[in-house]
Chain A
Amino acid sequence: AQKVTQAQTEISVVEKEDVTLDCVYETRDTTYYLFWYKQPPSGELVFLIRRNSFDEQNEISGRYSWNFQKSTSSFNFTITASQVVDSAVYFCALSEVGANAGKSTFGDGTTLTVKP
């Protein structure tokens, strides 16, 4: 069975601090997708990134960066110079490939609070 663990339930930082959200996953599949989603206080879910299992290149998008390490089954998310608008719940997810490819397993989420 697949599992996603976000050990940090809540993180609080002061604006402009860097913050890393951890995600560890378990799967028997050799091919899979990993995702990060953001859920701001308004409630909607926003897709941030998808990474497939055979692409271990790190990715940077503005203040956001993602570190995928297959050896440790981790897909961590770093926000540089955090801002109040980054306050949200962040979910990491894992998706199968194959017959049930649309099925995603989510972590419990990390609530990030950025204080001014």
Chain B
Amino acid sequence: DSGVTQTPKHLITATGQRVTLRCSPRSGDLSVYWYQQSLDQGLQFLIQYYNGEERAKGNILERFSAQQFPDLHSELNLSSLELGDSALYFCASSVDPLPTEQYFGPGTRLTVT
């Protein structure tokens, strides 16, 4: 158990809908990272927050947004969902703003039908 929690574990929704994925980092970790893993795109970095502020950005679609709250949990919002958004979404956390040792959550499996 990495100490990082993600909810929900599975999510099935229809095209055009909006969903929110939630991540709670390990106790004491200030950085949260979001990743997408799909068969087509592989493992891709989406975005990082450190202590509430956006720190680094990858190839995150404009339909996707994220935030980190004062209690350090983070949410990834995916809107106007398309079939191609079906993927495993991982959250990870670390102590530092740099990508040091990251602890990954179990992931949220999103299926868009």
- Distance to closest chain B CB from A29 (angstroms): 13
Among B20-28, B66-74, B75-83, B95-103, the stretch that binds chain A is B95-103
- Are B45 and A104 in touch, CB under 8 angstroms? yes
Give the complex CA separation of A109 and B103 in angstroms.
19
Interface core residue of A101, A102, A103, A108 (most chain B CB under 10 Å): A102
- Are B57 and A100 in touch, CB under 8 angstroms? yes
Interface size on B, residues (CB 8 A): 27
Known: A44-B106, A46-B104, A47-B103. A102 touches B43 (CB 8 A): no
Mark each residue of chain A from 94 to 113: 1 if its CB lies under 8 Å from any CB of chain B, else 0: 01110111111111110000
- Are B92 and A101 in touch, CB under 8 angstroms? no
- Distance to closest chain B CB from A52 (angstroms): 10
A109 partner residues in chain B, CB cutoff 8 A: 42-43
Give the complex CA separation of A95 and B31 in angstroms.
15
Known: A33-B99, A102-B56, A103-B58. A45 touches B48 (CB 8 A): no
A101 partner residues in chain B, CB cutoff 8 A: 55-56, 97-99
Contact residue among B45, B104, B106, B107 (Cβ-Cβ distance under 8 Å from A47): B104
- Are B31 and A102 in touch, CB under 8 angstroms? yes
> What 8 A-B pairs come out closest when comparing CB atoms?
A102-B56, A102-B48, A45-B104, A106-B43, A103-B56, A95-B99, A100-B56, A104-B45
